[in-house]
Amino acid sequence: MNFTADEQIEWERWRRLKELPKIFQRLAEIEGPEFRRQELLRREYPAELVTLAMLVADLRQRAQGRFELASRLWFDRKSLEQTTTEAIARHKARRFPVGETVVDLCSGAGGDAIALAARGPIVAVDSNPLQLVRLQWNAEVYGVDQKIEFQQGLAETIDISNKWVHIDPDRRPDLLSKGLSGRIQRIEDLAPPLEVLQNIMQQSRGGAIKLSPASNFGGKFPDAEIELISLSGECKEATVWFGELAGEAPFRATILPEGASLAGHPLSVMTRVEPPGRYIFDPDPAVVRSGLVDVMADQLDLWRLDDAEEYLTGSEPTLSPFVQTFEIEQIVSGNERELKAAIRERGYRELEIKCRHVRVDANQLRKKLPLGNGPAGVLFVARIAGKTSHVLARRLSYRSQSAVSKV
C-alpha cells in the first residue's frame, strides 16, 4: 500500500486498535453515559485509541441488521454509509458467473467485494489504501480474503478489457471537500465520471454499476438493464446491468428479502382507470421507481385510481410481494370536515397516513383528526378521477420475510 504521511499516521492508529481487541470487551462491560465510559477507558488505553474504538463500536452497532457479522467488522463513517447491505450484495453477486474473476472497482469497506468473493476470485480496487486495509480485515472476518487480490488505484486506470466488472462510484472529490454527503442524485457528480462508466461498459465483458435509486439514470445507459432493488419496503439501489449480464427488458424491480422480481418496459402496458374496487394497493417503491406499475397491474389484474396516482385498486385481495393490500372501508371527499366526521364515526385508535402526489403534512393532519378507541386504520390521500379524495381502509398484508415465487 502507498500511504501519504497523513494516511500513514491514520493507518498506525487503526493497526494499533486492531491489535487491542480487549478494548472493545471493556467498552461493552462499562455502563453509563458516553463521557463516563470514555473517561474510564482512558485510564487504561491511549486517548486516541479510545476515541477510535468508540467510533468503531458505534458504527458496528449501526451496522446490525445489515451484516450478519457486524460486531466484528471495520468501518469509518463514510464507508458504512456507502457500503452495500449484505442481502443486496449477495443478490447481485448471484448474477455473476460462478468461479470467474470479477474486478470490483471502488470497493470501499467491501460489502460487494465480500459477496462476490463468496462465488469466486475477485480483484478489489480502491484509491484509498486505508479502505483497502479495512476491506482486507473484513474479508478475513468472512473467510474470503484468500479469494481477493487487493489493488490500490483509480478505476479509470485499471485494465478491465473483456472482464467482469462491478463498480460503486463515489462522489466527486470537489463535492466531498464541500462537506456534501448522502445519496448522489446526479450522475454528473460521480467519480469516476459518466464517460468513464460508459467506457467501462464498452470495454468489459459485462457487469454492474451501483447507483442511488434517486439518481437521474434515465437515458444515460442505453442497451443496459436498470434494476431497482428494495429491501424491507425501502428502495435501496439502482443497479445498471450491462454487457452479457444485462437482461432483455430495460427495467427490473426486485423485492428483498422475498427475492421476487418483475421485468418489463414501462410503456408496454397502459393500465385502465376506473372507479375504486373493494381493495386498494400500494406498490413497492422499487416497482414505482422502475416505472413498472402498469406492467405489474396488468399481471395482477388491477387498475389505477387516477392517471397521476400509483395507487392501484381491484375487486379481489392480492397477497403479492409487489404490493401492500388494504380493504377499503369508506371513501370520503377531499373536505376535511367530512373526513373528521367519518373518522369520528369509525373510532379509529390510530391512523397510518399514506399519500404520494397530493401534498399533505401527515403530522399536522393527524393532530386534527378525532381518534377513538376502535381498530387501527389507514388513510390514503389520493386523487380519484382527477379529484382529491380520502380513502379509509384496513390493512390486510404486511411484508413477508419468506421467499415467494415470482409474479
Q: What is the pLDDT of residues 134-186, one digit of tens each?
A: 999 999 999 999 999 999 999 999 999 999 999 999 876 655 545 555 556 88
Surface-to-core class of residue 302, CB atoms within 10 Å of its CB (0-12 exposed, 13-18 middle, 19+ buried):
buried
Dihedral pair phi/psi, residue 352, rounded to 5°: -85, 125
- Residue 279 near residue 328 (C-beta atoms within 8 A): yes
Indicate the residue type of 256.
L
**CA–CA separation, 381 vs 63, rounded Å?**
35
Residue 401: predicted pLDDT? 40
Query: What pLDDT digit, counting tens, does each position of 63-106 carry?
Result: 999 999 999 999 999 999 999 999 999 999 999 999 999 999 99
Same domain, 236 and 121: yes
Dihedral pair phi/psi, residue 16, rounded to 5°: -65, -40
- The answer to whether residue 268 is domain-embedded is no
- The answer to whether residue 400 is domain-embedded is no
Residue 184: predicted pLDDT? 65
CA torsion through residues 84, 88, 93, 95, sign: negative
Same domain, 125 and 242: yes
Res. 260 pLDDT band, cuts 50 70 90? very high
Q: Calculate ∠ Cα 1-132-120, nearest 5°.
A: 115
Same domain, 387 and 338: yes
**Residue 109 belongs to domain with CATH number:** 3.40.50.150
CA torsion through residues 109, 112, 117, 122, sign: negative
Residue 174: predicted pLDDT? 58
Radius of gyration of the chain (CA): 25
Residue 319: predicted pLDDT? 87
Residue 399: predicted pLDDT? 56
- The answer to whether residue 254 is domain-embedded is no
The rounded percent of the chain whose pLDDT value lies above 70 is: 94
**CA–CA separation, 113 vs 121, rounded Å?**
10
pLDDT at residue 188 greater than cutoff 60: yes
Residue 406: predicted pLDDT? 30
Same domain, 58 and 94: no
pLDDT at residue 402 greater than cutoff 50: no
Non-local (6+) Cβ contacts of 67 within 8 A are 73, 85, 86, 111
Same domain, 30 and 177: no
Res. 397 pLDDT band, cuts 50 70 90? confident
- The answer to whether residue 69 is domain-embedded is no
- Cα–Cα separations (whole angstroms), residue 347 to 68, 294, 350, 369: 43, 35, 9, 10
Query: What pLDDT digit, counting tens, does each position of 242-254 carry?
Result: 999 999 999 999 9
Query: What pLDDT digit, counting tens, does each position of 6-47 carry?
Result: 999 999 999 999 999 999 999 999 998 988 999 999 999 999
- The answer to whether residue 30 is domain-embedded is yes
Among the ranges given (265-269, 321-325, 361-365), the one the predictor scored with the smallest mean pLDDT: 361-365
Q: Does pTM top 0.85 for this prediction?
A: yes
Res. 335 pLDDT band, cuts 50 70 90? very high
- The answer to whether residue 259 is domain-embedded is no
The rounded percent of the chain whose pLDDT value lies above 90 is: 90
Residue 405: predicted pLDDT? 26
Query: What pLDDT digit, counting tens, does each position of 281-304 carry?
Result: 999 999 999 999 999 999 999 999
- The answer to whether residue 225 is domain-embedded is yes
Specify the number of domains making up the chain: 3
| Domain range for 32 | 5-63
- Cα–Cα separations (whole angstroms), residue 349 to 74, 324, 336, 393, 395: 44, 21, 18, 13, 14
Same domain, 214 and 89: yes
Same domain, 139 and 30: no
Same domain, 52 and 94: no
Same domain, 323 and 373: yes
Same domain, 89 and 59: no
Among the ranges given (325-329, 358-362, 377-381), the one the predictor scored with the smallest mean pLDDT: 358-362
Same domain, 196 and 292: no
Mean pLDDT, the chain, whole residue set? 93
Same domain, 289 and 380: yes
- The answer to whether residue 390 is domain-embedded is yes
